[in-house]
Structure 1
Amino acid sequence: MIIGGFAAQAQAQSNVTIYGIADAGIVGERGGAAGSVTKLTSGVGNASRIGFRGTEDLGGGNSAIFQLEAGTKIDTGENDSALFQRQAFVGLKSKDMGTVTVGRQYTMLYNVLSKTADPFGAGFAGNAKNLFATGGAGTRVSNSLLYTTPSFQGFSADVQYGFGEQAGDNTAGRQLGLAVNYAQGPLKASVVYNNKNNDTAAVGTTPAVRKDRVKNTLFAANYDFGIAKAYFGYEIDKGAGSSPLPVANAFGYKVAPKSSADSTTLLLGVGVKAGTGTVLASYVRKDDKQNNQDANQFGIGYLHPLSKRTDLYAMVAKMSNKNGAGYTIGNNTEAGSGDRAYNLGVRHTF
């Protein structure tokens, strides 16, 4: 009786939202072994997608939540990946106790980089992902459990655990993330630590492989001055695979560049209001302490809103590689093929 009445009440207060992003633009890339590349690309600023998110009121400030998100390619109409591989999770949310979700989710490392540190929002030619370590399991983690505390005087915390789920080994591939966040007034700041076990479990006659753990620590902040917003990011990467190269050997070097197991990355950025639009700019420096293959990136661009949901963009970025480094200028969905690139396109959210 109580359960039935409770379910009926909750059902009456449930809702599902369909949302998405359609983003496509012309991308020009120069300076790599592939030569001069000009193409139409989907997901330059933000990956094109369609998603479903829902909430059901359980009463007492509690609710059940879910989200399913699929990637799509505007240029071809194809699926960007397996269905709902972008995000797929379900959970419970409490005003007093916080939020617990389980499934395939963004890592806090990626969320903080894209939402707090990077004026380009991890998209376009000038995005921070070209030098910051957020690829692969640094972006999303499957089979994960995430807990977010309620906000207390601007402070909150996150804990994420990804089960490795490799047969015969309970530790191989597992991932742990911790974050402390502050958001109040014009200041937003976070400290994130992500630890991934890079071991591979034995498969048949193939023996297990034991590797160094990947440890990434990110400090990020932004401050809104009104007419302009300043951005800062600093990441410390330790362990084999902690700072992977987006492309193995994009410049066709006789000696391929090496991925660093000991590096730091610094970002200084700004977003300045210009009429109805916004000028974005950033400087990113990779300091490779292992191989001395450093790199500097400069990016600048302009976002022009046509409405609250639609904007035009023009972006350009340049990478300076040192001592045989092989970093490329990509965008939100592509790693890029050279050390220079521009983007011209349109983005619509719904």
Structure 2
Amino acid sequence: MIIGGFAAQAQAQSNVTIYGIADAGIVAERGGAAGNVTKVTSGVGSASRLGFKGVEDLGNGLSALFTIESGVKIDTGDQDTAGVFAQRQAFVGLKSKEAGQITLGRQYTMLYNALSQVADPFGAGYAGSAKNLFPTGGVNTRLSNAIVYNSPVFEGFSVDALYGMGEQAGDTTAGRQFGLGVNYSNGPLNVRLVHNNKNNDVAAVGVTPAVRKDLAKNTLLAANYDFGVAKAYFGYERDKGAGSAPLPVANAFGYAVAPKSSADSDEWLLGVGVPMGGGTLVASFIKKNDKQNDQDANQYAIGYLYALSKRTTLYTAIAKIKNKNGAGYTVGNNTEPGSGDKAFDLGIRHAF
């Protein structure tokens, strides 16, 4: 829904759009320490949300913009994060046709955007989500106190840059984060190369000394190509440093020795999307290579998305993870990390 208005003094046209996603499905999880789990849950394919965004034309190719977006749980009606209204996105900025766009606030990282928008045929959702093995937790997905720049597109190329303030008193580097992305899009080909760098230091507080830690560095190459009869997907990510690959679930399988997060790992993804029967068949294979602990894992996934309209989609997906040497990765979906090594989804997604 669009609410339009005209500001006579500024001679500027502005509008506000109310938008959102309502997504709920039946999820069956198997293989975890807690046993079989079957539930109705929210945000299987895409996190359910309610958002407000606006643009004001300031003239001469310049516009002001904002987004405020809150997550909701369709199965219960609760907020995604209790007591926090706009935990998904909250930013304001300026956009110039010639100079690009700059925004300030809580925003997605280009690492997550490249994985979900380019590399993963499941779009980081459903049982086949690449988030099950690619590290996207916490600040690898969204970052508060961030400044983001998006350049104009020139001959198919564009650049994105992110800088996140650590905002720890007495230390200008502790907790800060930066990202850089180079993008190319031309016809059927889309490619993104992105780097994310997180400072894990903790500033001194009173008599408690500062804690110095390794940098967490993630570099991702994402690509897809549309052949018409099928769309091919590829992703490769390199993770280095403490905190570069946090585990989605601490010890989902109840091992006597809990799995360890790796400070040296990489992931490969090969995927495909095939138009079929009025919908799209999607499938992917992901390999996790833990170079530090040798706790590797493979994921196999297949799903079918059937569009009833431009806004409403029925979906089903199934995925299996094979953990090795005490690894503890789980099959989740867009909003939940999952409880076991197998999962099946059946649901509906409506965008408005």
The normalised TM-score by structure 1 is: 0.97
Amino acid at match of 1:217: T
Partner of 1:32: 32
Amino acid at match of 2:101: T
Partner of 1:55: 55
**Offset from partner CA, 1:155-183 (integer Å, 9 cap, x none):** 00011000000122111110010000001
Tell me the CA shift for residue 286 of structure 1.
Answer: 0.3
Partner of 1:166: 168
Tell me the CA shift for residue 133 of structure 1.
Answer: 1.1
Match of 1:129, SS state, is helix
Q: Distance in 2 between matches of 1:324 and 1:94?
A: 51
Partner of 1:306: 308
Q: Distance in 2 between matches of 1:270 and 1:124?
A: 15
Q: Distance in 2 between matches of 1:206 and 1:29?
A: 44
**Offset from partner CA, 1:191-227 (integer Å, 9 cap, x none):** 0001000111223343322111000000000001112
Tell me the CA shift for residue 7 of structure 1.
Answer: 4.5
Distance 1:6 1:61, change over 3 A: farther
User: In angstroms, what is the RMSD of aligned CA positions?
Assistant: 1.0
Q: 2:283 aligns with which of 281, 284, 288?
A: 281
Q: Distance in 2 between matches of 1:54 and 1:185?
A: 29
Amino acid at match of 1:333: T
Partner of 1:180: 182
Q: 1:150 aligns with which of 149, 152, 156?
A: 152
Match of 1:301, SS state, is strand
Tell me the CA shift for residue 327 of structure 1.
Answer: 0.4
Partner of 1:335: 337
**Offset from partner CA, 1:131-170 (integer Å, 9 cap, x none):** 1011100000100000111000000001100000012211
Amino acid at match of 2:269: L
Match of 1:32, SS state, is coil
Q: 2:94 aligns with which of 76, 92, 95?
A: 92
Amino acid at match of 2:328: G
Where does 1:1-350 land on structure 2 (aligned, <5 Å)?
7-10=9-12, 13-81=13-81, 82-350=84-352
Match of 1:35, SS state, is coil
Number of equivalenced pairs: 344
Partner of 2:4: none
Distance 1:7 1:170, change over 3 A: farther
Distance 1:221 1:254, change over 3 A: same
Amino acid at match of 1:134: T
Amino acid at match of 1:123: G
Q: Distance in 1 between matches of 2:169 and 2:350?
A: 42
Match of 2:167, SS state, is coil
Distance 1:14 1:8, change over 3 A: same
Match of 2:337, SS state, is coil
Tell me the CA shift for residue 16 of structure 1.
Answer: 0.5
Match of 2:181, SS state, is strand
Q: Distance in 2 between matches of 1:272 and 1:80?
A: 33
Q: Distance in 2 between matches of 1:170 and 1:103?
A: 18
Q: Distance in 2 between matches of 1:329 and 1:246?
A: 10
Q: Runs ≥4 in structure 1, deviation > 4 angstroms?
A: none
Match of 1:8, SS state, is coil
**Offset from partner CA, 1:251-304 (integer Å, 9 cap, x none):** 000011110000010000000000210001000000000011000000100001
| Unmatched segments (≥5 aa) in structure 1 | none
Match of 1:230, SS state, is strand
Tell me the CA shift for residue 61 of structure 1.
Answer: 1.1
Q: Distance in 1 between matches of 2:10 and 2:45?
A: 42
| Seq. identity, % | 72
Q: Distance in 1 between matches of 2:145 and 2:9?
A: 28
**Offset from partner CA, 1:317-336 (integer Å, 9 cap, x none):** 00000000000000011000
Amino acid at match of 1:320: K
Tell me the CA shift for residue 8 of structure 1.
Answer: 2.8
Q: Distance in 1 between matches of 2:218 and 2:9?
A: 43
Match of 1:47, SS state, is coil
The normalised TM-score by structure 2 is: 0.96
Q: Distance in 1 between matches of 2:348 and 2:208?
A: 48
Match of 2:310, SS state, is coil
Distance 1:269 1:7, change over 3 A: farther
Tell me the CA shift for residue 6 of structure 1.
Answer: 8.2
Q: Distance in 2 between matches of 1:206 and 1:85?
A: 30
